[in-house]
Structure formats: structure tokens, C-alpha cells
Amino acid sequence: MQIGVNVPNFGPGTDPGVLRDWAQTVEGLGFDLLMVSDHVAITPDVAEQYPEPFYEPFTLLSWLAGMTRRVRLGTTVLIMPYRHPLLVARMAANLDRLSGGRLVLGVGVGWARDEFAALGVPFERRGALTDEYLTTVREIWRDDPIPVWIGGNSDAGIRRAVRLGDAWHPLRNTVGWLTEAVGRLAATARAEGRAAPAFAPRIVLRLTERPLGPERLAGEGTVDQIRADLASLAALGAETVVLDPFGGDPEETLRPTVAWKALAAVAALRNEGET
């Protein structure tokens, strides 16, 4: 099972030097995938959670491609309705070629109403636009496809992953929920008469000294609890798990070494051959 990292590309502590350090840390610790998030217009609803500066993912990943050699690069997730599909197809294809075939395009429908309004995109049609744009992008890439991960925890997200994705990429939940959801993914694929896509969840990464209770999210708790979570996800068939060390407070971006220490603990587990 491969392990990736969601790197915060926003917030008061984020600047080019910190982003370079993040990339070198992720690749240096031996992780397989570095992913970043997407917003275009930092409207009040976005800024409350992900304040400026917010580095645009295609631009940022192109820059990081030049200072890394091995780690794959991706989006978790690109908000598909925000950009014309021909533009997405071309930018993604260029980035994939320039990086030596390292791109993973994770996509989602989006949630920020104010941002949709600022971009002139109808919020109510975000699901239909995502399906339409994905279909167009995949047709353009027919002869040279790029892996597409479909984000979203809803039944609609699962259906979209079965029909249009190479992997389903649910975000931040419990191991119990993910176990049940993998069953729904398989059932949906059977109903559609299709093969189930790969399973590539994004989970939190929050290391604690004391064990947390049964309602904890996957990826939070002691080293032993995180080890058990990764083993459970591997048993569920996860081909890749993305660790998300951002806990929700933008001030965390001023203290990236806290996240780096947690990542080093997971890397040590891998070196022990336990994940």
C-alpha cells in the first residue's frame, strides 16, 4: 500500500520556502504521493477555513515537480466545475509530461457557494457539470490517460467514481464508516455492471500520546492506533492512503514541524515493515 501526504498550500505560515521544505520532507521521508488542495476565489466562506495566501494547485505542483524526482504529485481535490474542461485537460497533461508521468488528478464537485457565485458557476449544477467536464477530459486523454480520483463521501460521489474514476477518494472519516462505504462501492459497481474503482482514502494524521476513544477518526491517536488503522485500510483493499495533517486551525501552518514529526513517525512504521 502506498502512502501520500496532503500538504497545506494555504494559510498564514505558507510561503515558497515552507512549501519547498514540505516537498523535501515528504519525498525525503519516502512517501509516495504529495497532494494539494484547490480554491480559486478566496471568498469569505473559503477564507474562514483556508485563508490566503492560497497557492493555485497546477502552478504549485509544476514548481514542485522541478524540485522533486520520485514522489507523485496530485490534487485533493481539484474543484472540477471551476475551470473549462479543455483548460483542465491541457494543464494536467502538460504537468504530467513535465513531471515525468507523476500526476494524479483528484477531483470533486465543491462546496463553497460564495466562491461559485464569484466565478459565475451555478452552484446547483455542480454535480452535472463535474460529470460533463470529466467525460470531456477523459475523452481528450483517451490515448494517454492520467489517473483520476473521485472525491466525495456521498452516494453520488460513489456513483461518479464507479462511472468516471480510476479510484474513489473519500475524505476524513472513521475506519468503521470506511469499511461500510467500501461495501457500498462494491454494490454500486455491481449494479452498474462495472468493475469497482480502486480505493484511495484521505485520512487525518494527528498523533497523540494517549489512546483516543472508539469514535476517533482514522489516522488520529497513538502510533499503535495509527498503525492499526493503516493495517485495516490495507485489508479493505486500499491501494493508496493519503495522510492529512491539517487539523482545521490555519495557525497550524505557522508550525509545520509538528506535522513533520507525525509524518516521521509513520515513516518509521514503514521502515519497520509494519504498514
Task: Assign a CATH topology to domain 2-273.
Answer: TIM Barrel (3.20.20)
Q: For residues 161 and 202, is the Cβ–Cβ distance under 8 A?
A: no
With a CB cutoff of 8 Å and minimum separation 6, the contacts of 226 are 205, 207, 219, 220, 265, 266, 269
CA dihedral 260, 264, 270, 272 (to 10 degrees): -170
Mind listing the pLDDT tens digit for each residue in 69-91?
999 999 999 999 999 999 999 99
Mind listing the pLDDT tens digit for each residue in 171-225?
999 999 999 999 999 999 999 999 999 999 999 999 999 999 999 999 999 999 9
With a CB cutoff of 8 Å and minimum separation 6, the contacts of 196 are 162, 185, 186, 188, 189
Residue 98 in grid coordinates: 513535465
Q: In what order do the strands lie in the sheet with 167-169?
A: 198-199, 167-169, 148-151, 103-108, 72-79, 33-36, 2-6, 240-244, 202-204
Mind listing the pLDDT tens digit for each residue in 103-156?
999 999 999 999 999 999 999 999 999 999 999 999 999 999 999 999 999 999
62 C-beta neighbours (distance < 10 Å), count: 16
| Main-chain phi, psi angles of 31, to 5 degrees | -70, 160
| CB-count burial class (<10 Å; 0-12, 13-18, 19+) for 74 | buried
- Rounded distance between C-alpha atoms, residue 92 and residue 79, angstroms: 13
Q: What is the pairing mode between strands 2-6 and 72-79?
A: unpaired
What is the pTM assigned to this prediction?
A: 0.97
Residue 250 in grid coordinates: 490555519
* Domain residue ranges of the chain, discontinuous segments joined by +: 2-273
Give the per-residue pLDDT at 271.
86
How would you label 133-163 residue by residue, b for 16+ Cβ within 10 Å and e otherwise?
bbeebbebbeeeebbbbbbbbeeebbbbbbb
Q: For residues 32 and 3, is the Cβ–Cβ distance under 8 A?
A: yes
